[in-house]
């Protein structure tokens, strides 16, 4: 059975269900690490990421994002760190405050289906069901969603890696955003209801 999960700079996912705030997750030593999974990216992947984000941003009155190649390079570095552990246990090690980040993990067995970027974006957007526009602010249930539709964000870079893992065939999708979303006291000006 597929098990999708996601992450943002301030929200994290555990190997079972969305968890509370996490600053650093994962094993403390590299003894538990494995080699990173191989990248699975092409122009269609980047187009999928951009169009999935921008369709949802348009619904929430946020301007379209553009792909930034420097962010794509950074996303590749980050996904190499994250995929060294099964699930989303790679944490935020090395993640600065200049970027927002959403992560998605998908596993399936025995199939070797590779999840799309749109799969990850739909999973992150699912938090919109819980967002309270009357009381805007951060919560672990909505942080992935608010990063997607954050009005002040203008640039996007995504990466995807996939391959066999300890828990079946795994796909990781990781997107980084500039300017980052989920900034305290800025939700009212950056997160709008869907039209």
- Confidence band of 109 (pLDDT split at 50, 70, 90): confident
Taking the CA of residue 47 as centre, how many other CA atoms within 13 Å lie in the half-sphere pointing to its CB? 3
* Tens of pLDDT, residues 1-58: 333 333 333 333 322 222 222 222 333 344 478 999 999 999 999 999 999 999 999 9
pLDDT in tens, 52-106: 999 999 999 999 999 999 999 999 999 999 998 877 765 554 455 689 999 999 9
| Among the listed residues 9, 16, 25, 26, the one whose alpha carbon sits nearest the alpha carbon of residue 140 | 9
The residue whose two tokens read 């200049």 is 98
Residue 162: which of 72, 82, 53, 90 has the closest Cα? 82
Residue 113 per-residue DSSP state? P
């Amino acid at each position: 059975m597929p098990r999708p999960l996601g992450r943002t700079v301030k929200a994290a996912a555990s190997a079972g269900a969305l968890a509370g705030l996490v600053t650093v997750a994962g094993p403390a030593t590299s003894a538990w690490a494995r080699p990173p999974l191989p990248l699975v990216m092409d122009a269609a992947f980047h187009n999928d990421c951009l169009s999935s984000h921008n369709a949802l941003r348009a619904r929430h009155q946020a301007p379209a994002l553009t792909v930034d190649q420097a962010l794509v390079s950074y996303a590749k570095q980050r996904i190499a760190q994250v995929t060294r552990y099964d699930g989303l246990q790679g944490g935020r090690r090395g993640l600065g405050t200049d970027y927002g980040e959403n992560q998605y993990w998908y596993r399936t067995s025995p199939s070797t289906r590779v999840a799309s970027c749109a799969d990850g974006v739909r999973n992150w957007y699912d938090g919109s069901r819980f967002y309270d526009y009357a009381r805007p602010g951060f919560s672990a249930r909505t942080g992935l969603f608010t990063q997607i539709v954050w009005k002040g964000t203008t640039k996007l870079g995504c990466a995807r890696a996939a391959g066999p893992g300890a828990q079946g065939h795994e796909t990781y999708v990781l997107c980084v955003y500039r300017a980052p979303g989920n900034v305290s006291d800025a939700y009212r000006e950056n997160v709008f209801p869907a039209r």
